Structure 1
Amino acid sequence: MPFESQSVVSEMPVPPLTRPQLAEARRMRAVELFEQGRPHAQIAGMLGVSPESVRRWKRQWEQGGAPALRRSPATGRPPKLDDAQVEKVRAALEQGAQAHGFEADLWTLERVGLVVERVTGAKLARASVWRLLTGRLGRSLQRPQRRAVERDESEIARWVTHEWPRIKRGR
């Protein structure tokens, strides 16, 4: 009886690799090709990079091995909000602006900044609020459509089909 295996498919979708992850994977593939003794030009062609990059990677690999070509952690100032605080902000924003005492259910950078300060105690500049919304929360700019509340679509359609041809014929 042949061996039968059942594969379990994960329900969670696998997120696509980020640019730094792709770059690291490319460098690790270059290490495999270095170990095979492939020429620089061939490696560059296979990986879609310049021969100079391959030469630089090889120098780093010869000096520090494969770990020398791994990604280094991001530098710079750490974010003011940790992941738990970002989730608190996400939950607060999902309640809507009116739940936080604003007249209209419309979010602006200033309003989001106030909610962030209330929920986390951290005061963010407008630019930081924008980065929080678009980067860590995955939101995008949405502008409300400007339409009159009294707008009557059926009356507009009637006017376009009956009145406009009559007016146009009168010319």
Structure 2
Amino acid sequence: MKCLMCLRRWLYRWCVRYADGGGLTAAGRLRRESVRVQAAALFEQEVKPAEVARRLRVSLKSAHQWHQLWREGGVEALASRGPGGSRCRLSPRCLSKLAAHLEQGSAARGWVEDQVWTASRVATLIGRKFHVTYSVSGATRLMHRLGFSPQVPARRVAERDELAVAVWKEVAWAEVKESGRPAGDTSASRTRQASPAGRPEDAPGAGAAARRS
């Protein structure tokens, strides 16, 4: 039992999402801030710091520190203090609502054709729900901040690719057929030539066909 407890402690120490130390890049700060925002949402649901640490795979020390900061200043107190990022123009409550909208999926907000969240759609959603204008790049950063990644409507891209291939095949096949027949011929004339009885008089073998008939 003692060995099992030691193993659990070792695994927890090395499998937590990140350590307590600093020295992160801008991307690392965004990822860490995303986890803190998730922790704040759990605190609002009255989830204990120990359970938050378990769910988010962070150290218990970090969870307790975040809980204290959250009690004193809400979600804003958990925002990244590092350089390289601009302050969010959405309030903590709006951020929580936006995360809930994203969790429900794009179909719940009217985009039913492929049910993915693109950055453009998220920017549109923010404008509709919170009357704040975000660029596509700004919406992308905000999605990363909340722990989401912009998606690409793969089905639509595949359909466009299939259509392009089909058109290319038709054009290429038409060019092959054009290059393989005499100038001035048409498909109808080729069809007539397929029947010996219907060959023009000057066509090769036409006389023999007439004699056989």
TM range (shorter): 0.3 to 0.5
Larger Rg: 2
Highest RCO, 1 vs 2 (Cα 8 Å, sep ≥ 6): 2
TM-score (structure 1 length as normaliser): 0.40
The answer to which structure has the higher helix fraction is 2
